[in-house]
Structure 1
Amino acid sequence: MQNIIDRILTDTMLHQGVPVLTYTIHYPNFTTTCSQASATYVNNYYNYQAKQKEDYCRNVLYQQAVEQAMYASDHQFPFNSYEFLSVYTITYNENCVTSLFTDQYTYLGGAHGDTVRDSQTWDFETGNQLKLSDYFPNSKTFTEFIISEINKQITGRENANPSTYFEDFPSLVRGNFSIESFYVTPDGIVIYYQQYDIAPFSTGIPEFFFPFKNCSPIE
């Protein structure tokens, strides 16, 4: 079992006394009854990721925000402060396995911001990440099964709420499928796509649930 402490990097950065960028980066720190060496490895992974994000905010986004603020001031335009927010969600934490996803939201002053998701499922006995194939042990072509099931789920959603997915979703589902875009819940696996991959912005991040009982299609 893993215990999780929420750690945060945050700052509001100013230019000539005006806030131009606020960032908040949440990241987990683990202790475990399984393997402390594994916990150290996982913690170093998230420490590094958080530091990389902070460096990006301070050295890239801040400069972009300053340039935009100066341009807005010179042309008497309103300026909306930039925002960067990274928040993780623990979706499974039992025995020596923990699964989570992180949504990274970036707002650059426009009509709306964009969110990018990534996820990891950790085996704290070994310190390794579990793979999607680990949950489909009886199928060599499990990705074809997943894609077929996702298309069925989308068809049902489209029948209930038309235009929530792009018209050419079957080709987009296949073309944008990522074997790393999944997380685990107590009841099954969730496969997700990024914003705009297969649906309009209004649909958000599309998710597709696979109960554990359906995760071993036998060939």
Structure 2
Amino acid sequence: MQTVTTNTLTDTISYKNIPIVTYKINYPSFTTTCNVKAAEAINAYYLRLAQNTRDYCRNVIFAQAAQDLEYIQGTRPFNAYTLDVIFQITYNSGCITSLYTDTYTYTGGAHGQTIRTSDTWDFSSGEKLRLTAFYPLTPSSLHQLQVSMESQIARRLKENPGTYFDDYKTLLHNTFRINNFYLEPGKLVIYFQQYDIAPYSTGLPEFYFPINI
């Protein structure tokens, strides 16, 4: 079993005495009763990701924000760029832990963008588990996944018309990514990114499949 602690890297960076970038990066740290060395390796993985994201904020996003501030030259209010990272543990039992991480970035405009990533870990070995560990990926099973997702969307559209693009069947096939999944108790969850198959207002579409874990 794993115990989870939340760590945070946060800062506000100014340019010409104006705060232009704010970031808050939450990332997990684990202790485990399964394999201490595996937990150490997984913790190092998340620390490295958090540090890389912090450096991206300090360099790339900061440079973009400073350029934007110089460009507007006081012609309009400047909205600080932001980056927020949160994670959610969705399954944690025995030596298996599954989670997703949402990274929200705002760099001007009407709204920001959220990118989701996910990981499912075996803390006995330290290995990241792939979808094939929980669901067989054959032409037949992939077709069944597609049909099930189409059916779930059809039901949702009856309740809320316009929440998916008209060509969602084609988009489901074209934007499916094998690593875009996480576990919940008794369920496999497959998700899509914003705009993959639905408008921004729909968020990140999720589809649910019963499995035995």
Mapped partners of 2:147, 2:126: distance in 1: 32
Quote the offset at 1:169 in angstroms: 0.3
1:36-90 residue CA offsets vs partner (Å, 9 max, x unmatched): 1110111111111111101110010001011111212x25122111000010000
1:180 pairs with 2:170: no
Task: Measure, in 2, the Cα distance between the counterparts of 1:96 and 1:162.
Answer: 41
Count of residues paired in the alignment: 212
Q: Percent identity?
A: 46
What is the TM-score normalised by the length of structure 1?
0.93
Any idea what SS the aligned residue of 1:50 has?
A: helix
Name the aligned partner's letter for residue 166 of structure 1: F
- Cα distance in 2 between the residues matched to 1:176 and 1:109: 26
* Cα-Cα RMSD: 1.3
Structure-2 separation of matches of 1:3 and 1:113: 32
Mapped to 2, the partners of 1:70 and 1:96 lie a distance apart of: 51
Q: Tell me by how many angstroms 1:145 deviates.
A: 1.6
The answer for the alignment partner of 1:69 in structure 2 is 69
Any residues of structure 2 matched to 1:95-110 within 5 Å, and which? 95-110=94-109
Report the Cα distance in structure 1 between the residues aligned to 2:159 and 2:75, rounded to whole angstroms.
46
The equivalent residue for 1:140 is 138
Q: Which runs of 4+ in 1 moved over 3 A?
A: none
Deviation readout 1:120-173 (Å, 9 max, x if unpaired): 000000111111111124x63322221111011011111221110000000000
- Aligned to 2:105, the other structure's residue is in SS state strand
One-letter amino acid of the counterpart of residue 42, structure 1:
I
SS of 1:162's equivalent? coil
TM-score with structure 2 length normalisation? 0.96
> 1:82 & 1:71 partners in 2: Cα distance?
15
Could you tell me how far apart the structure 2 residues matched to 1:78 and 1:57 are? 21
- Secondary structure, counterpart of 2:62 in structure 1: helix
Structure 2 counterpart of 1:114, one-letter code: Q
| Helix, strand or coil at the partner of 2:6 | strand
Aligned pairs for 1:26-175 within 5 A? 26-72=26-72, 74=73, 76-137=75-136, 140-141=138-139, 142-175=141-174
1:5 CA displacement = 1.1
